[in-house]
Amino acid sequence: LTGRVSRNYAVVPMAPRHVLSAAAIERDATPSPWSETQIAAELAKPSALFFVLEEEGAVLGFGGIWLVGAEAQLAEMAVRRDRRRQGVGRALLDALLRRAKEDGARAMTLEVREGNAAARALYASAGFRETSRRPHFYEGRETAVLMGKNL
């Protein structure tokens, strides 16, 4: 971690008490946000593994994967707008990559909007490489860039 998040942070498994904050971050982060109900449902899925980064009790961001056999798929990740570019996303992604590997995944895949420069830069800096594209994937318009990384 870069040290721009204070010392009093922790990456911990997402629990029901985090759902409201995660949904608020999500609403401010993407054109197609997951609702509180959807986030809560993710916590109940056996294949899902979600983490939050908390700083002094406040949720600064969250991220999750679905683990199916030897493949982990990045499900979602979002950081509070006023705390972006401080290493929160990277800390969450590192925790997810580590945990996926520990749980036996051999690779992680993800899909990201072509126009999402911040997320694409984060993933590229973490070693993800573009594998393919799906035109008109989001809202029938925006291209999805598929990326992958061996673990």
Ligand X SMILES: CC(C)(COP(=O)(O)OP(=O)(O)OC[C@H]1O[C@@H](n2cnc3c(N)ncnc32)[C@H](O)[C@@H]1OP(=O)(O)O)[C@@H](O)C(=O)NCCC(=O)NCCS
Residue 88 interacting with ligand X (CB under 6 A): yes
d(CA 107, CA 21): 29
Residue 30 interacting with ligand X (CB under 6 A): yes
Stretch in the footprint of ligand X (CB under 6 A) among 36-44, 96-104, 117-125, 130-138: 117-125
- Closest-by-Cβ residue to ligand X is 89
d(CA 87, CA 75): 19
User: Taking each helix axis from N to C terminus, what angle separates 19-27 and 36-44, rounded to the nearest 10 degrees?
Assistant: 130
Annotate each residue in 32-61 with x if it binds ligand X (CB under 6 A) or - if it does not, as one string.
------------------------------
As given in the structure block, the two tokens for residue 74 are 């990045």
Question: Shortest Cβ distance from residue 134 to ligand X (Å)?
Answer: 14
Residue 107: enclosing H or E segment and its boundaries? strand 107-113
As given in the structure block, the two tokens for residue 23 are 């949904």
Footprint of ligand X on this chain (CB under 6 A)? Answer: 29-30, 77-79, 84-90, 112, 116-119, 121-122, 125
